[in-house]
Amino acid sequence: MPIPDFVQELRRHVGREQLWLPGVTAVIRRGDSILLVKRADNGEWAPVSGIVDPGESPGVAARREALEETGVAISVDRLAAVTVTDPVVYSNGDRAVYLDHNFACTWLAGEPRVADDESTDVGWFPVDALPSMSSELVARIDAVLADEPRTRFQS
């Protein structure tokens, strides 16, 4: 997984210490299907996700990540949930916690493809036949599929 330049710069100052970073998850729907990527780092299926760049709006980040990772254009329709991830320790020892902005998104254009080195596969899955995923990712998808008018906040 490529490390954003601004995170590399922070790491020069804080080393492997835990960083608090804003993140996004784009749960992309097309009819009754969800677009998922197979992550290169752990081989698991997941919605599109990424880190918000400095000064970037989370909704803009979700659109950017979808295009960068899958080559598809999306609309960001609503903020479905805001959660804090469990601490993550990467293979190089870097530690982080993410404030995740989970967005309900709609596919607009483009045929999904592996568009960067962050994933090894990409595909549409019927909402009633999703591959095995962590409970955290299932909760993100469930928040979108619930079509609730209000954002879910972690309590």
CATH of the domain at 35: 3.90.79.10
- Report DSSP letters for 32-87, one per residue: TEEEEEEETTT--EE-EEEEPPTT--HHHHHHHHHHHHH--EEEEEEEEEEEEPPP
Domain annotation covers residue 2 = no
Domain annotation covers residue 3 = no
Domain annotation covers residue 144 = yes
Domain annotation covers residue 98 = yes
Tokens of residue 149, six digits: 């008018």
Domain count for the chain = 1
* pLDDT reported for residue 155: 72
* pLDDT reported for residue 48: 98
Domain annotation covers residue 4 = no
Tokens of residue 146, six digits: 């619930």
Domain annotation covers residue 5 = no
Print the domain residue range for 84: 17-150
State the CB neighbour count (10 A cutoff) for residue 119: 21
Domain annotation covers residue 1 = no
pTM of the model: 0.94
Per-residue pLDDT of the chain (155 residues; tens, 9 = 90+): 578 999 999 999 999 999 999 999 999 999 999 999 999 989 999 999 999 999 999 999 999 999 999 999 999 999 999 999 999 999 899 999 999 999 999 999 999 999 999 999 999 999 999 999 999 999 999 999 999 999 999 87
Domain annotation covers residue 23 = yes
* pLDDT reported for residue 1: 59
Taking alpha carbons only, the member of 109, 108, 107, 102 closest to residue 146 is 102
Per-state percent for the chain, helix, strand, coil, to nearest 5: 20, 40, 35
